[in-house]
Amino acid sequence: MPKGEGAQREGDLLKRYILVSLIFLIILLIPYKVFAAGNVSVVSNKGSVANGEEFDVSVNLSGIPACAFQLELSFDGNKLEYISGPENSNMVSNTALYTWVDSTGGSNPTKDGTVVTFKFKAKAAGEAAFGINGMFFDKDSNEIMPIYSGIKVNIQNVGGDALGAPNNSGNPSNAYLSIMRMGIEGISPDFNKNITEYNLVVGTDVSDLNITAVPENPESKVNISGNKGLKIGLNTVQIEVISKNGSKKMTYTINVTKTANPAKANANLQTLSVKGDISSLRSYSSQQEECPLTNITPDFAADIMSYTASVPSNVEKVNVFAVPESINANVKITGPGLTSSRRW
């Protein structure tokens, strides 16, 4: 952008902010009443982040018929760096200020939802707190007094915990990850260091995945493959963690489906049950009761991929009842002594 155009744009933004601030000041000068209503809360798109990682912090309203407001989002400047915010915002002494006025004069108040989002960057390990305060007014210039609630975000050093001490750093055989992120929402199930297979559906506009993979032991070696140049269809992304002494290796696999129609890429199950097949009982008689359903552990959930089940010792075959969420999906069940069914 030419220098002149950049200066003009900055001048326009400053004028706009000054104009909105003047409107808000005029509202403050009008006599008003005070009443309590609603909630103001701070939320983050990430509950914990790696040191040096960027993340979003938003302010949400609930049940506040506000036609004008000013927000003050305070943060720990020792652990956080402010990156950006919307046009009607400003930064003063580790406090992000945001002002909004209903341009329709009160016919379109903001009651619920996210009203502003700021971007921050973690710069030191520890627990970083966000506080929120402000002033809210309805269409009659009455002040609204909501309940405010802030949040705390956990910042981890790469390969370490929130206090900067590496997790299991004394164990040279540790090959677990402590943080795994794809740079995009939607991975299933949620990350757990003991779960090694995940699924993710992305749109056709996604070519690469910006993966954050932090090992528990900072001296473990991490190799990432398959996350660049995603093709249409199924892509396999692997994160290989090799322990410091080379005695252990963990491979985390992410099955990434790139498609223009995410609904068609739904490979989740709606129902999963297991039952011993009575016809396979070695001591079968026609008077025997039917085998009951076998409990699976953990309880079924669409984002859990691994289960265990036990059957009596005299059962040689089990029926697996598996129904997909999508009626167009196909279910294939393999393994010794397994049969598939959609009904018993």
Tell me which of 226, 243, 265 is where a domain ends. 265
What are 295-298's contacts with CB under 8 Å, separation 24+? 296/272
Asked if residue 298 belongs to a domain, the reply is yes
Residue 192 shares a structural domain with residue 69? no
Asked if residue 164 belongs to a domain, the reply is no
Residue 142 shares a structural domain with residue 83? yes
Asked if residue 196 belongs to a domain, the reply is yes
Tell me which of 250, 265, 280 is where a domain ends. 265
Contact (Cβ atoms closer than 8 angstroms) between residue 58 and residue 40:
no
> What CATH number is attached to the domain comprising 37?
2.60.40.680
pTM over 0.75: no
Query: What is the pLDDT of the chain when averaged over all its residues?
Result: 79
Residue 79 shares a structural domain with residue 202? no
Residue 203 shares a structural domain with residue 328? no
Residue 164 has pLDDT above 50, yes or no: no
Name the token pair of 49. Answer: 């982040």
DSSP code, position 332: -
Confidence at residue 322, expressed as pLDDT on a 0 to 100 scale: 79
pLDDT in tens, 151-162: 988 887 764 444
Residue 68 shares a structural domain with residue 151? yes
Owning domain of residue 281: 269-341
Residue 84 shares a structural domain with residue 214? no
When divided into structural domains, the chain yields a total of: 3
- H helices of the chain, in order, are 3-29
List the beta bridge partners of residue 256. 200, 235
Residue 87 shares a structural domain with residue 125? yes
List the beta bridge partners of residue 110. 66
CA 89 – CA 100 distance, rounded (Å) = 9
Asked if residue 279 belongs to a domain, the reply is yes
Mean pLDDT of 337-341: 52
Contact (Cβ atoms closer than 8 angstroms) between residue 200 and residue 256:
yes
pLDDT in tens, 72-121: 999 999 999 999 999 888 888 899 999 988 888 777 787 788 999 999 99
Asked if residue 166 belongs to a domain, the reply is no
List the beta bridge partners of residue 274. 294, 320
Asked if residue 9 belongs to a domain, the reply is yes
